[in-house]
Amino acid sequence: MDTRNNRLVIYENQRNDFLGIKKELEELLFSAGEPDSAVHRTSEQEEYNRKSEGRNNISMFISPCNTIIVILNVLVFLMIEIILPSGTGNQLFKDGALSWMEVIDNREYYRLITYMFLHSGISHLGNNMILLLFIGDNLERAVGKWRYIVIYTLSGILAGGTSILYNLFEYNLIVSVGASGAIFGVVGAMAYIVAVNKGRLENISSRQIIFFAILSLYGGMTSQGVDNSAHIGGLISGVLLAVILYRKPKSEKTQHNV
């Protein structure tokens, strides 16, 4: 009799069910176990459940990848403004702002990534990061960490590519910075996912996300100094990437039937 694990050990020369009373003996062993051990196991389980619930509550408000992206944007901005204060426009261009001339003529392809982490001022940074904290947080929970990183990064790159093609065709000699192209990709992905989930995901409805996208695009088109081609390219890219990467979770009823 193994009293520590409350079981009956049957050797090779004995019948498998120990004369038909194996189950009854093990039940007696379990019921005769030390009360202190049972209480200890119960308290350990309760402590584990409490910690798990706490982690789940935190994850409802903080998504790690999205939070890291926000922190990186803030740190880059502070570094440029405080450590390298040599003129915002010139410094942004040197640090990797997006320009079709530099990307195409000089093959500086890294600008398709670096421009996403540069901002022209505190209000530009603040508006983008506040939006990203809310929308990006929901998207990361919906699609998972690595899919979120893929959607955010590729949307930003494709938004930059759209900007390059448009401004090259129009021969606009402009320099673009900001995470808004990638953020519009996040908005586009959320719009698709909310629609797939019958018009609502967590605290976001399809009406809210579509209204926000239309309002943001309209605001950009009626304002000066806004790269609308990047916004549109990011929005479309986010939708397409969500179509490719997102799979709606099976309902509990469907899983049981399977």
Residue positions annotated with a catalytic role: 180, 231
CB 77 within 8 A of CB 91: no
How far apart CA 225 and CA 19 sit, in angstroms, is 87
Class of residue 39 by CB neighbours under 10 A (exposed 0-12, middle 13-18, buried 19+): exposed
Residue 251's SS3 state is coil
- Of the candidates 141, 149, 146, the residue with the CA atom closest to the CA atom of residue 60: 141
Please tell me the distance from the alpha carbon of residue 199 to that of residue 98, in angstroms, as a whole number. 36
- Residue 193 and residue 112: Cα distance in Å, rounded? 26
Whole-angstrom distance, CA of residue 50 vs CA of residue 188: 36
What are the beta bridge partners of residue 256? none
**3-state DSSP assignment of residue 86:** coil
CA distance 91 to 81: 9
Is the distance from CB of 228 to CB of 220 less than 8 angstroms? Answer: yes
In whole angstroms, what is the distance from residue 80 CA to residue 65 CA?
A: 23
Distance CA 148, CA 139 (A): 7
